[in-house]
Structure 1
């Protein structure tokens, strides 16, 4: 029989959050796909339409949450893949902090962009 394989140790918080964020991302991506491919066709979407969507608190909040969730999900997956490959010690610590700093920069820039798009603070 084939053995069950996962790069995460089952029952841990990292394992649980990877599953929770994956479920959230599937729902948000389905919403995005429905909105931009069925309600409005991608070729019809303009910057102004996107700007108008970003000015609604619900959509803006959802996109910020999507940014944070996708960043965490991706970084957590990369980190755990490296742990699974046997990376340990100082190298793992260096990678962890590099991923944390890169994530923070990505989120800060994403929020700045979203605020500008919503008519807030210019970047």
Structure 2
């Protein structure tokens, strides 16, 4: 039988955050599909409608949290996949910081776009 191996420490914070963000992402993705694919069909989505939705504080906060959790989930998943493949030492440290900077830049750019989509600017 194959031995269990994971770069996550059982009971560690990264392990817990990976699972919590997965649950949040599934819920918000279901909300997204329901609202933008079933309630409003894709052909009816307009820039003006997006501005109206993004100008609502609750919707904006939900979409911003979606951005942050998806970024963390993805970056953390890629990092741990690389560690599971044998990444060690200086390369592991360099990749960790490179992914962290890339994640922060993605969140910054996503926040800029989200704010630009509101009627507030």
Aligning the two structures, in what range does the TM-score lie when normalised by the shorter sequence? over 0.9
Contact 2:25 2:69 in 1 (8 A): yes
Give the 4+ runs in structure 1 shifted more than 2 A. Answer: 1-10
Per-residue deviation at 1:37?
Answer: 1.3
- For residue 10 of structure 1, report the CA deviation from its aligned partner: 2.4
Deviation at 1:69, TM superposition (A): 0.3
Give the match for residue 69 of structure 1: 69
Match of 1:89 in 2: 89
Q: TM-score, normalised by structure 2?
A: 0.92
The unaligned stretches of length 5 or more in structure 2 are none
5+ residue gaps, structure 1, are none
- Tell me the number of residue pairs that the alignment of Structure 1 and Structure 2 aligns: 121
Name whichever of 42-51 and 1-10 sits farther off.
1-10
> Bigger relative contact order, structure 1 or 2, given CA contacts below 8 A and separation 6+?
2
Counterpart CA distance in 2 for 1:101 and 1:78 is 14
Find the counterpart in structure 2 of residue 102 from structure 1: 102
TM-score if structure 1 supplies the norm length?
0.91
